[in-house]
Every structure is written in structure tokens, then in C-alpha cells.
Amino acid sequence: MLDPSKHDEENGQPGPLADTEQAGMPPPDHGILAFDCLFNTSPMGLLLVDGRGLIVRINARALAMFGYEEAELVGEPIETLLPHRARPHHVAIREGYIAAPSIRAMGKGRDLTGRRKDGIEFPLEIGLSPLTTQNGMMTCASIVDITERKRAELRLREANAQLEEFTYVASHDLRSPMRGIANLINIIREDYGEQAPPAVLHNLGRMEERVNNTEKIISDLLHYARAGRRAIKAEPIVLADLIAEVVETESPPPGMTITVEASDEEFEGVRTPLTTILRNLLSNAIKHHDRETGTITLRARLEGNSCLFDVCDDGPGIPEASQGRVFRLFQTLSAAQRKGTGLGLAVVQRLVESHGGSITLLSQDGKRGCTFRVTWPRFARTDLDD
């Protein structure tokens, strides 16, 4: 390897360090060069503040974040970047930090707010790191604009509130007809008495089983709405068993075949929301099929960090022009479908996304059938689970 401080013997040219040595200049400090490079190119906003609370240096990302030019901020107090109401209080906080500096996040447990040059405020996160320099102790502040995250959290809270409200209303509306059906079954049993034909008793038993399953679904949904994700514990779930449970709760009409392609692989997950999602997708595929005979296929497999669930049908498909609105509330695609409420797929999407998953619709114009693919987190994550 060539020594850049020496002459290049092949071409007779001096190395890059030779010029500085001959000129009596010290060689460059590579540590400082590296810091300059990281500071200037960091994707986070960075600024240096001296012991008096004055901004000594600020990078391009922070300037863009706050809408200033560098000359407008260098030499100004750090409080320039805060809302007016927070500035007096921040001076005491800053002085306390200078007296006992440490590497830490600023304002833990509080919402921090920055103020742009145009007066618009935005939420941010700040990390503080003390630095010892030739000019004394300084503080490097790393700043992240979390506006998009806050918007996503707000949308999620609104979606969860709407889902909870829907769950209570739907469960109340479902319990009454289920109890009515159960009462009718008892009346039929009493009318027939011991003379009931075996086929009738068999069908009555199946009806009671369906009613009991529906009551359990309602109870699970209510428990889920009341407890929220914080109180729901993950449990081992076998893919094949989960799909079998979903299929068992549905009653396809004669001529409609349900096939299952699921492995016996196991993952950790929350059962109630996942079964609710798959059951709704299966029910939707049955309800909107346009022929007396057809096939619906449920597939489940593990892939990387996700569980993939496909609900495929050979029905009429969904036109590409209509696919953008199938997940909206109260949306139906045709007059024949308006007997429903248009809530199913909207609720499914909210359930999927609130648990960190995604749902995709696959359907092509000119071809029959469509597939709803649910991508579900396979492992617990701190940003999805408490």
C-alpha cells in the first residue's frame, strides 16, 4: 500500500500530506473531518450549543426543519427555536443540564414542540449529548421532526375509537336476534316433544351450535373492545388450527366449496382479532359470489417476519377502478350488494392495521376471482405490543 505522505516514485509527484509538511502546517485531524462529515450529512437535525445557551453550529437538516438560514441562528439563544410560552421555563432547564450534563433524551414523558421561523409549531424529539471541546463544554442536540408519526397515532386512535363504538353497537344488534333464534329452537323442540324425527333433531342441534358460536364471537368482540390491545396476551397459534376454526363458523351454501391450504407451523399472536378478520373475509367471499357453484380457498403460511393469509375466490372479481374504495365505510360496489351495510372490509382493514399488519386486494380486469391477502406480524414488537 502506498504511503500518501511520501513521494510517488512512479510519477515523481508528492503525496497529499507532503505539501502540508513542507508548508509547516500540521496534518489534518481526521477525527474532526469525520465529525464535520457526520454533522453536515446527518439525516437528523443537529446543532451545537455552548455553555451560555447560544447556537454555535447547526446542520442543513435542522435549518430546513426550522426554516432559517444559518446566519440567522448562529450566535442566537437556543430558545429562538421554541414557542414563546416555553422560553422562560426552558432557560432554567438548560442551566440545570449544563450543571449536570449527561447523554439523555430531552423531555421524557412530555410532548416537545419546536417553532419554525414562520411561527408554525411542530412536534419533535430531542437527544442531548455533552461534548468537551477546546472552547469548553458544549451540548450537541439531535432533533427529529415527528409530525408524521403523530398524525399516524391520531389516525390510529380515531380508528380504534370508531372500531370500539362499532363493536358495541354491532354486538347489541346481534344478541337480540340470536336470542330470538334460540327461543324458536326451544319452542320447536317443545312442539315436537319426543316425536321429533332424527333429522329434525340433528338440524336443531346444528342450529344451536351455530347460535352458540355466534354468541361466543360476540363475547370475544366485546372483550376485545373493552380490554384493548394492552390487556390481550399473545398465545401460540397453529396456522392449520386457526383456519379450521374460521371455516367451522361459516355455513357455505350448497355448491360452494371451501378448500384449505395451511401448514402446521406455529406462531405467537392474538387470536380474536385475527379470526375476526379471516371470518369476515370468508363471509364476504361467500356472500358476493355470483354463481351457484364456486370455490373459496384459504391459504396460510409463515414467510420471514410475517404470517401470510390469502382468501381467494373464483367469483366475479372487483374492477380495478373500484378497488380504491372497497375498504371505505358504507361502500358497496353494486345495487345487489346494498342489502349489506358496507362495514365489513372497513372494519377488517382497521383491525389489520391497528395490529401492525396490512391487507391487499389482488384482482385484475377481465379475469374472474380476487384475493384478499393479509400480512400479519409474526413476532411481538415494542412498537406494536405493550
Residue 118: is its pLDDT beyond 50? yes
Give me the pLDDT at residue 308, please: 96
Higher pLDDT, 330 or 182: 182
Residue whose C-alpha is closest to residue 282's, from 308, 261, 253, 312: 312
Is 222 inside a domain boundary?
Answer: yes
Weakest-pLDDT range from 163-167, 206-210, 316-320: 163-167
In sequence order, what E strands does 9-84 have? 45-49, 55-58
pTM of the model: 0.53
Q: Does residue 7 register a pLDDT over 80?
A: no
The reply to whether 319 and 244 lie within a common domain is yes
Q: Give the domain range for residue 372.
A: 231-386
- Give domain status of residue 370, yes or no: yes
Q: Grid coordinates standing for 342?
A: 358496507
CATH number reported for the structural domain that contains residue 79 in this entry: 3.30.450.20
CATH number of the domain encompassing residue 340: 3.30.565.10
If one counts the domains in the chain, the total is 3
Asked whether residue 22 carries a pLDDT value surpassing 60, the answer given is no
- Reported as a pLDDT band with limits 50, 70 and 90, residue 359 is very high
Q: Which amino acid, one-letter code, is at 245? A: E
pLDDT band at 65 (very low <50, low <70, confident <90, very high): very high
Q: Closest Cα partner for 274 from 217, 191, 197, 343? A: 217
Section 96-104 average pLDDT = 90
* 376 and 354 within one domain: yes
177 is a domain residue: yes
Q: Which three cell numbers stand for residue 87?
A: 422560553
Does a structural domain hold residue 11?
A: no
Percent of the chain with pLDDT over 70: 81
Q: How many helices (H) and strands (E) does the chain have?
A: 10, 13
300, pLDDT greater than 90: yes
Q: Are 278 and 311 in contact (CB under 8 A)?
A: yes
- Is the predicted pLDDT of residue 372 greater than 50, yes or no? yes
Close Cβ partners of 114 (under 8 Å, ≥ 6 residues apart): 65, 66, 81, 82, 121, 122, 123, 124, 143, 145
Domain check: are 222 and 235 in the same one? Answer: no
Q: What is the pLDDT of residue 219?
A: 74
Per-residue pLDDT at 3:
41
For residue 259, the model assigns a pLDDT of 95
- Look at residues 46, 48, 81, 76 and name the one whose alpha carbon lies nearest to residue 61: 46
Same structural domain for residues 271 and 179? no
Evaluate whether residue 80 is within a structural domain.
Answer: yes
Query: Cell numbers 316433544 correspond to what residue?
Result: 193
Better-predicted residue by pLDDT, 253 or 114: 114
Tell me if residue 48 falls in helix, strand or coil. strand
CA 242 vs. chain centroid, Å, equals 23
Mean pLDDT value across residues 258-267: 94
Task: Give yes or no: residues 202 and 245 share one domain.
Answer: no
Is the pLDDT at 383 greater than 70? The verdict is: no
Task: Say if residue 12's pLDDT is above 70.
Answer: no
Pair (259, 383) in one structural domain: yes
What is the pLDDT at residue 197?
87
Average pLDDT (24-49) is 78
Percent of the chain at pLDDT > 90 equals 37
Q: List, for residues 168-199, the tens digit of each pLDDT value.
A: 777 777 777 888 888 988 898 888 877 888 88
User: Which is higher by pLDDT, 385 or 185?
Assistant: 185
State residue 323's pLDDT score: 72
User: Average pLDDT, whole number, for the chain?
Assistant: 81
220-234, pLDDT tens digit by residue? 666 566 544 544 577
Same domain (yes/no): 130, 197:
no
| pLDDT score of 195 | 82
E strand or H helix at 188: helix 147-192
Residues 281-308: what's their mean pLDDT? 92
Q: Is residue 216 part of a domain?
A: yes
Range 115-141 average pLDDT: 93
Please, which residues have CB within 8 angstroms of residue 272's CB and are 6 or more apart in sequence?
220, 221, 223, 224, 232
Most confident of 70-74, 321-325, 349-353: 70-74
Average pLDDT of the residues in 151-158: 85
- Which of 113, 144, 145, 138 minimizes the C-alpha distance to 48? 138
CA 295 to chain centre: 32
End residue of a domain, out of 145, 174, 195 = 145
